[in-house]
Chain A
Amino acid sequence: MTNYVIGRLISALITVIGTTFLVYGAVRFLPGNAVEIIASTSTVGGPNAYKQVEHELGLDKPFLIGYGDWVKQVATGNLGKSLINGQSIARYIKEGLPVSVELGLMSLFFGVVFGVPVGVLSAVRQDSWVDFALRSLSITLLAVPGFLIATVVIVVASKVWNWNPPITYIKFSNDPVHNLGQFVLPAIILGFSSAAALMRFTRTSMLDVYRQDYVRTARAKGLSQRSVVWTHAFRNSLIPIVSVIGVFMAYIIGGTVIFEQIFQLPGVGRFLLSEVNTRDYPGIQAIALIFALVVVVVNLVTDLLYTVIDPRVRY
């Protein structure tokens, strides 16, 4: 077990190093001349603007030296300053990260709460009209992009009830009830695709487990349907589902970028879009790195959870 954990940690570390390489290298290798673009709008104008921007980004140094400097800087919590207005990037991320995390976790929560039980129900009622309806629903939710659903919800609510989601962000520490209320709608809609995919995974996994001998034995012993489903079948069907939830986290993080735009939430996704528009590379680098770290950590936690969910797993 210890060896497994150490192995996974090393693997995660390698992934993080690779990610930092990619994030740092993107400035150098992206199509178009990033320095020229920045030099044309940045605060460090003047006749030497190009060289100044190169210096600001560490691009006047050999790749490995520049990379090392940047990693050192990031490791100490210094994410750099905006090239557009000189503000600390860390400040924006400190403000925005809790918002994005809250949205992501609530969305995941709704995805699991809706997706897993519905998947179980669909499996238990295999080939019934309930199963058919739920499968159709899941395909629909997978096929229709969440941002479209969100826009339609807002437009319809506006047309029919003159209602609109709140436009002023309320911090959890100021008013937990209103804060959570502000997140419910975007989290549910963002969670639709996760719920739909989880429903299908759960159904497949449950059907697989349902055909196992030990489930048949449990039935033969005269155990109740509830006991067979939830005590014997469900837990064993969870293993692949948990691994999928980790993958969903990456999708949800991507989704927060758009949903924060639509629902006026000041998360890092919204900040990322603004930074991309202005080619503010320090900000883009910082957010990309953070998103990548979140995905790595979530996957690491997911892997470690295997051993908790399935006692048979002993690495």
Chain B
Amino acid sequence: MAENYWKRLNRRRFLAGLGTSAAGAAVLLSGACGSSSKPSSGTPAPTSGSGGAKANIPVLPEISLVPNLKNIESGTPKQGGSFQAVLGGGIPDQYDPIRDAGYPGLEVAGGCLSNLIRGHYPILGDLTIEPDLAASWEQPDHQTTVFHLRPNAKWQNVSPVNGRALTADDIKLNFDYIRTAQPDFVLGPMFSMVDRVDATDAHTVTVHTSIPYAPLLLNLADIWAKVIPHEQYAGDLAKQKPVGSGPFIFDHFTNGVEYVLRRNPDYYIQGRPYLDELHWHVFDPSNPNLAPAAFKAKQIDTGGAATVSLAKDLINAVPNANWGWRYGVLNPMMLNNSVAPFTDERVRQAVMYAIDPHPIIQITWQGFGRQAQQIPLWYKEYLLPDSELPQRDVKKAKDLLSAAGMSNLDLTDKTFQGGQLAFGTLQVQQSLKDAGINLTIQQQQWADWRVNVYGIKGDFQCTMGGEFDFLSLDRQLWNSYNSKGAANNRHVNDPVLDKMLDDARGIFDHTQSVTAYKAISKYITDHAINIPLPNGTTPIATQPWVKGWFFDWSAGALLEMNRLDSVWLESH
């Protein structure tokens, strides 16, 4: 299974997932307000950080970095209007999130497909799990979860489902679909512990897991866990057109230019969605000037500036726009733990201590970078204190190398075209020199890099690149660092870490869970299993007349794709 996961990354998704790369200015929607319901009784409250990043973001003098939430949430929602958004990351490859739709495909499909439950992470609030198709749920024990579906839920009135009722059998079949034993069914590993799904009655689904598995709800609330009708399972149907029960119906598209969704009049939340149409526009990701120009011309309602300098221009042109600056995806230096010299922990630590993060913050991220950790920065509650983070220490790095018998170390970093500038690779190369480490950078064609370096073969010593941040830390860490993890592309095989990760899966108590994941993060850091490089942020603007949400980065920047029904437009 492990090698299968590696096949799932594509360049578009990767660069877009980077979030901070000028090449991949992904523009996403975010629900800054809306009717945030509390989790149902009995549900472990997955509160994981305040999400309020204002204290951590460098200040541009021209802009208030906290969006005007009061203004965004003010007024009475109005029906109608056509919303224009920039589709991040290029052209949709396909639309089935369960089968690894790339970033743009996920964005489009996000408005059309529903979750069983959905995550919400407001910028100044806590992460919560909300009802979606399931109106409520309870967990009578740690291996059983009962979902009560909305009685009025139905599929969209389009072929092949034609508005039929959405029942518990559909959810049961969807679990089977998710767990299809094929390599492109990317959610399989996160639901492999689902033992049995029972459709107790038309509107009740009971999920039994083979082990106590705390992250089940978070995995279900993530943007990938969509509910797709069984009529779409055959062949590539779900990949070709998103048909579901979401607030919007996929209407038409002009290939590579525009993807248009229209309001689903049968949506199960009364009065939603507010918009009549949602238009996704594709801009050449290699030309970061295009989307800001369209924003200034008021052709698009959200979308933005891929760089700080472009952001400054937009701030002057649209001073009352709302901005999303939250730090998103991880930006690691990935070491292949199973090949020399990184089988020696001292060498890994030497590299970690030799890297100077400041040039990356200043040059790669234009002053807007921030030192990262093993988990996304928006998981504030789980972050280690600064005192437990390694500080640059060239002498220590040299001593470690000397102890390992490698005073002068030659390393090869394999990166893909464009990656050299995007991840701070050159700055890493420069700072390693101080410790006597000579890093040779080999650029490869993207597809070759994916297959041979990041992917199946693992033919590398070290490489750099962005990694998605997921709602569930289990998916984030177990999948990447457990020896059985489907995304163990660092080829880690550490029994101690395996046990820590396995144990964390069964912890339902929130406080204990935080403690466990902090310990895991510290272990990975102390043993230099992975070296996080500074995160950057992409400033994204939303027009002031857009209400009910604004663009924000969180949970892979796609979490709020689940909340398009809350968007409405003020007259302008």
User: Which residues of A approach B to under 8 Å, CB–CB?
Assistant: 32-33, 36-37, 39-41, 43, 45-46, 49, 84-87, 92, 95-96, 151, 154-155, 157-159, 162-164, 166-169, 260-262, 264-266, 270-271, 274, 277-279
Q: Is B240 touching A45 in the complex (CB atoms < 8 A)? A: no
Q: Which of A41, A159, A164, A271 has the most CB of B within 10 A?
A: A41
21 contacting pairs across A/B (C-beta < 8 A): A32-B445, A40-B450, A40-B456, A41-B8, A43-B99, A46-B182, A84-B239, A85-B93, A85-B236, A85-B240, A95-B254, A96-B255, A154-B290, A155-B289, A164-B296, A168-B257, A169-B257, A264-B258, A266-B254, A270-B91, A274-B90
Q: Is A262 touching B284 in the complex (CB atoms < 8 A)? A: yes
**B527-542 with Cβ < 8 A to chain A:** none
Q: B74 an interface residue at 8 Å Cβ cutoff? A: no
CA distance A162 to B543 in the complex (A): 14
CA distance A168 to B182 in the complex (A): 38
Given contacts A40-B456, A162-B296, A164-B297, contact A32 B239 (CB under 8 A): no
Contacts of B448 in A (CB 8 A): 32, 37
Q: Is B4 touching A45 in the complex (CB atoms < 8 A)? A: yes
CA distance A151 to B290 in the complex (A): 8
Min Cβ gap A248→B in Å is 24
CA distance A279 to B254 in the complex (A): 21
Q: B485 an interface residue at 8 Å Cβ cutoff? A: no
Which 7 residue pairs are nearest across A and B when measured between Cβ atoms? Answer: A86-B236, A158-B293, A164-B297, A45-B183, A261-B284, A85-B94, A37-B447
Q: B154 an interface residue at 8 Å Cβ cutoff? A: no
Min Cβ gap A274→B in Å is 5
Given contacts A37-B448, A168-B279, A262-B290, contact A45 B257 (CB under 8 A): no
Task: Give me 19 other A-B pairs in contact (C-beta within 8 A), A32-B447, A167-B258, A278-B10 excluded.
Answer: A39-B7, A40-B447, A40-B450, A40-B455, A41-B450, A43-B236, A49-B183, A85-B94, A151-B287, A154-B290, A155-B289, A164-B299, A260-B256, A261-B284, A264-B282, A264-B283, A271-B256, A274-B90, A277-B11
Contacts of B256 in A (CB 8 A): 260, 266, 270-271, 274
Contacts of A277 in B (CB 8 A): 10-12, 90, 446
Q: B563 an interface residue at 8 Å Cβ cutoff? A: no
Q: Which of B94, B256, B300, B445 has the most CB of A within 10 A?
A: B256
Contacts of A84 in B (CB 8 A): 93-94, 239
CA distance A96 to B256 in the complex (A): 10
Closest to A170 in B: B254
CA distance A241 to B78 in the complex (A): 61
Q: B184 an interface residue at 8 Å Cβ cutoff? A: yes
Min Cβ gap B322→A in Å is 19
Interface size on B, residues (CB 8 A): 53
CA distance A7 to B143 in the complex (A): 79
Given contacts A45-B182, A95-B255, A274-B91, contact A264 B289 (CB under 8 A): no
Min Cβ gap B316→A in Å is 10
Min Cβ gap A90→B in Å is 13
Given contacts A37-B447, A154-B289, contact A162 B297 (CB under 8 A): yes
Closest to A93 in B: B255
Contacts of A87 in B (CB 8 A): 240
User: Which residues of B approach A to under 8 Å, CB–CB?
Assistant: 4, 6-8, 10-12, 84, 90-91, 93-95, 99, 182-184, 235-236, 239-240, 254-258, 279, 281-284, 286-287, 289-290, 292-294, 296-300, 313, 317, 445-448, 450-451, 455-456
Contacts of B451 in A (CB 8 A): 33, 36-37, 40
Closest to A40 in B: B7
Closest to A147 in B: B287
Q: Is B317 touching A262 in the complex (CB atoms < 8 A)? A: no
Contacts of B281 in A (CB 8 A): 167-168, 264
Min Cβ gap B269→A in Å is 29
Q: Is B258 touching A168 in the complex (CB atoms < 8 A)? A: yes
Given contacts A37-B451, A164-B294, contact A46 B239 (CB under 8 A): no
Contacts of A92 in B (CB 8 A): 255
CA distance A32 to B294 in the complex (A): 38
Q: Which of B99, B235, B282 has the most CB of A within 10 A?
A: B282
Contacts of B8 in A (CB 8 A): 41
Min Cβ gap A56→B in Å is 13
Given contacts A85-B93, A169-B258, contact A159 B7 (CB under 8 A): no
Q: Is A261 touching B10 in the complex (CB atoms < 8 A)? A: no
Contacts of A33 in B (CB 8 A): 451
Min Cβ gap B260→A in Å is 9
Min Cβ gap B283→A in Å is 7
Contacts of A274 in B (CB 8 A): 90-91, 256
Contacts of A266 in B (CB 8 A): 254-258
CA distance A164 to B279 in the complex (A): 17
Given contacts A41-B7, A271-B256, contact A155 B239 (CB under 8 A): no
Min Cβ gap A127→B in Å is 41
Min Cβ gap A311→B in Å is 46
Min Cβ gap B100→A in Å is 8
Contacts of B317 in A (CB 8 A): 162
CA distance A151 to B293 in the complex (A): 10
Min Cβ gap B93→A in Å is 5
Contacts of A169 in B (CB 8 A): 254, 257-258
CA distance A158 to B318 in the complex (A): 12
CA distance A101 to B129 in the complex (A): 51
CA distance A275 to B339 in the complex (A): 35
Contacts of B456 in A (CB 8 A): 40
Min Cβ gap B231→A in Å is 16
Closest to A31 in B: B445
Interface residue from A43, A95, A162, A279 paired with B447 (Cβ < 8 Å): A279
Min Cβ gap B380→A in Å is 35
CA distance A271 to B313 in the complex (A): 31
CA distance A84 to B281 in the complex (A): 21
Contacts of A158 in B (CB 8 A): 289, 292-293, 296-297
CA distance A138 to B468 in the complex (A): 49
Contacts of B99 in A (CB 8 A): 43
CA distance A86 to B96 in the complex (A): 12
Given contacts A32-B445, A167-B294, A277-B90, contact A264 B257 (CB under 8 A): yes
Q: Is A167 touching B284 in the complex (CB atoms < 8 A)? A: no
Closest to B451 in A: A40
Closest to A270 in B: B256
Contacts of B282 in A (CB 8 A): 264
CA distance A19 to B240 in the complex (A): 31
Q: Is A45 touching B7 in the complex (CB atoms < 8 A)? A: yes
Q: Is B287 touching A262 in the complex (CB atoms < 8 A)? A: yes
CA distance A37 to B448 in the complex (A): 7
Q: Is A271 touching B296 in the complex (CB atoms < 8 A)? A: no
CA distance A39 to B298 in the complex (A): 42
Interface residue from B7, B90, B254, B289 paired with A151 (Cβ < 8 Å): B289
Min Cβ gap B108→A in Å is 12
Contacts of B90 in A (CB 8 A): 274, 277
CA distance A230 to B148 in the complex (A): 84
Contacts of A264 in B (CB 8 A): 257-258, 281-283
Contacts of B287 in A (CB 8 A): 151, 261-262
CA distance A303 to B289 in the complex (A): 42
Closest to B282 in A: A264
Min Cβ gap B7→A in Å is 4
Min Cβ gap A182→B in Å is 11
Min Cβ gap A41→B in Å is 6
Contacts of A166 in B (CB 8 A): 299
